[in-house]
Amino acid sequence: MFEIDNINSTKSKSPVRMFRLAWGMTRRLFLNRFRPGYVRKSLSQRQGNCQRCGVCCQLVWRCHYFKNTDAGPSCGIYGRYRPPNCRIFPINSRDLADRDLVSQSVPCGFWWHSPAEEKKESHKPEI
């Protein structure tokens, strides 16, 4: 099972940090609603898989449906009722940076290549 650091520490609840996490949640709501093309494109470039660490379920507050079971973190509404903000997390590397404010020791399973890496990939000769 994952140990999530600092999640209930005083530092993790500092007003600046909480504001940044709340802003991130608002940003994702906005992007989902008004920039679906951007969201689709960014998700298509996303690498990796969810490791089910459960950190994104506890960003601004601990989600009511989040449960830490013996089998690991679990979502009580995963299948049908999971909100869009949860389904698409993380949209971009800003979300990862916000998420790392809550837990750096357990990294998210998703990442993006940097623009420099993308450029290098596109110049690779095809075999």
What are the residues binding ligand SF4 (CB under 6 A)?
50-56, 89, 99, 108-110
Question: Of the candidates 113, 123, 124, 115, which has an alpha carbon nearest to the alpha carbon of residue 47?
Answer: 113
Comparing CB distances to ligand SF4, the nearer of 36 and 50 is 50
Strands 66-69 and 110-111 come out as unpaired
Nearer to ligand SF4 (CB atom), residue 47 or residue 122: 47
State in angstroms the smallest separation of the CB of 69 from ligand SF4.
Answer: 14
Q: Which is nearer to ligand SF4, 72 or 120 (CB)?
A: 72
Contacts of 55 (CB under 8 A, 6+ apart): 4, 7, 99, 102, 103, 106, 108
Q: Tell me the closest approach of the beta carbon of residue 19 to ligand SF4, in angstroms.
A: 20
Supply the minimum distance, in Å, between the C-beta of residue 96 and ligand SF4.
8
Q: How far is the CB of 106 from ligand SF4 (least distance, A)?
A: 7
Nearest to ligand SF4 of 23, 120 (CB atom): 23
| Cβ atoms of 91 and 28 closer than 8 Å | yes
